[in-house]
Amino acid sequence: MKIPGAKPYCPDIPGLLAKMKAVLESGRLILGPRNEELEKEFAKYIGVKYAVAVATCSAALEIVMRYAKVAGGEVIVPANTFVACGNTVLYAGATPIFAETEKESCCLSLQGVTQKITPKTKAVMAVHLSGLPMPEINELRALCRAQQLFLIEDCSHAHGATTHGQKVGSIGDAGCFSLFATKIITSGVGGIITTNDPELLRFARSVRHQGEEGGIENIVNLGNDWLMDEMRATFALHELNFLEEIIKERNSIAEKYRARIARMPHILSNAVPSNIRHSYYKFLATLDETVDKDKLVQSMKKAGIEMNTLYSKTIYNHQAYQQMGFSRNQCPVTEEIMKHQIALPIYFGMTDEEITYLMDTLEAGILEHTNA
């Protein structure tokens, strides 16, 4: 049996193709009604005034940081996240400062942020890792307001996730969502910015299209080619209609995982606070120190199951960052967490047979590769 690390869910393909056909027949492939409708509906779903569709989440992050005028300053970023979070800080002209993550959630630690704030700090990027809203996000928002720091939510994994009933992407000054092929909903590739700030709306709309305002002959900002085309907007809008259904099923699968893992030795499911709705981009669990994680991962792959850590190394340990002079071992707590963390695949449409096979294989692998 083969179980992929991620599997996109695309319901009603005939209906989607009909919508795509209508776009092609319209002759309007960029900056059209599908983008406008996606932005309107996504903003409504998240609970903000504005949304801006862009080419990628990386573009969204860079646009937001440029708006926040971080150039020449520092942006605090969790050490355990996708490398784009650091890259976009650099592209925006700032220095990424890597902070520790919290052990239970694997999200950014409020204490870790506090320890890294300096007079040069301009912004903080909170990543809702694996689909779990950062448990201390409201406290972080209060800290950022007190320190006059711009709070960016990276919601790449967390479409529809909530904390205290509020959706991620509506808590900070701006939210950035990914519509990449592996994400909870997708347009193949794409990104969306969410905000209540009309000036950020204006800036993002300009910068995504070479910096124009009111027409391509009037360039008012240094921009880029970061538009989302009408085909991808149609795809994303179609997927958005099914997001609540997708989250419900992912949570149902996660509960089956959790119940089974509770009976296994040498592994614990990561806790989810009662005030949070997880969207389960991935299901995180922690192995104890007696388990040889590398051998376990290899045995799962041999059994046809794509499983690994969510990220194999901290951003600053990537070769490119080492070549730029970033020091190693900046966040020892995070590195220790990552040594024992695994991310189980989870996706809409998983059958009970697949779930049982995954859990049986995981348990057998743990028993085989435990050095107790």
Determine the Cα–Cα distance for residues 133 and 128; give it in Å rounded to an integer.
5
Q: Tell me the mean pLDDT in the region 188-213.
A: 98
Same domain, 101 and 205: yes
Q: What is the pLDDT of residues 72-131, one digit of tens each?
A: 999 999 999 999 999 999 999 999 999 999 988 999 999 999 999 999 999 999 999 999
Helix, strand, or coil here: 86? helix
CB atoms within 10 A of CB 342: 22
Q: Tell me the mean pLDDT in the region 252-265.
A: 98
Determine the Cα–Cα distance for residues 7 and 24; give it in Å rounded to an integer.
27
> Which residue would you say has higher pLDDT here, 56 or 309?
56
**Which pLDDT band, with edges at 50, 70 and 90, does 309 fall under?**
confident
pLDDT at 367 over 80: yes
Q: Is residue 111 part of a domain?
A: yes
Q: Which residues, 6+ apart, have CB-to-CB distance to 293 below 8 Å?
A: 287, 309, 339, 340, 342
Predicted confidence at residue 55, as pLDDT, reads: 98
pLDDT at 308 over 90: no
Order of strands, edge to edge, in the sheet holding 283-287?
Answer: 267-269, 283-287, 341-344
Out of 203, 237, 271, a domain closes at 237
Out of 237, 269, 285, a domain closes at 237
Owning domain of residue 64? 13-237
Q: What is the pLDDT of residues 323-337, one digit of tens each?
A: 999 999 899 999 999
pTM, two decimal places: 0.96
Helix (H) / strand (E) element for 141: namely helix 137-147
Same domain, 230 and 100: yes
Helix, strand, or coil here: 71? coil
Same domain, 180 and 247: no
Same domain, 256 and 225: no
pLDDT at 372 over 70: no
Same domain, 25 and 94: yes
CATH of the domain at 314: 3.90.1150.10
**Which pLDDT band, with edges at 50, 70 and 90, does 304 fall under?**
very high
Q: What would the two tokens of residue 207 be?
A: 């910068």
Percentage with pLDDT > 90 across the chain = 97
Same domain, 276 and 337: yes
Predicted confidence at residue 40, as pLDDT, reads: 99
- The per-residue pLDDT of the chain, averaged, comes to 97
Q: Is residue 6 part of a domain?
A: no
Q: Is residue 99 part of a domain?
A: yes
Q: What is the pLDDT of residues 150-170, one digit of tens each?
A: 999 999 999 999 999 999 999
Same domain, 73 and 166: yes
Helices H / strands E in the chain, number of each: 13, 13
Give the residue carrying structure tokens 């080619």. Answer: 225
Q: Is residue 100 part of a domain?
A: yes
Q: What is the pLDDT of residues 208-229, one digit of tens each?
A: 999 999 999 999 999 999 999 9
Same domain, 311 and 289: yes
Predicted confidence at residue 279, as pLDDT, reads: 98
Same domain, 79 and 146: yes
Q: What is the pLDDT of residues 335-345, one digit of tens each?
A: 999 999 999 99
Helix, strand, or coil here: 101? strand
Please give the angle made by the CA atoms of 130, 134 and 140, to the nearest 5 degrees: 150
Predicted confidence at residue 104, as pLDDT, reads: 87
Q: What would the two tokens of residue 286 be?
A: 């922690």
Predicted confidence at residue 329, as pLDDT, reads: 87
Q: Is residue 311 part of a domain?
A: yes
Predicted confidence at residue 273, as pLDDT, reads: 93
Number of domains in the chain: 2
Same domain, 180 and 262: no
Out of 193, 210, 237, a domain closes at 237
Q: What would the two tokens of residue 113 be?
A: 């942020």
Q: Tell me the mean pLDDT in the region 29-54.
A: 98
Q: Is residue 291 part of a domain?
A: yes
Same domain, 24 and 141: yes
Same domain, 52 and 79: yes
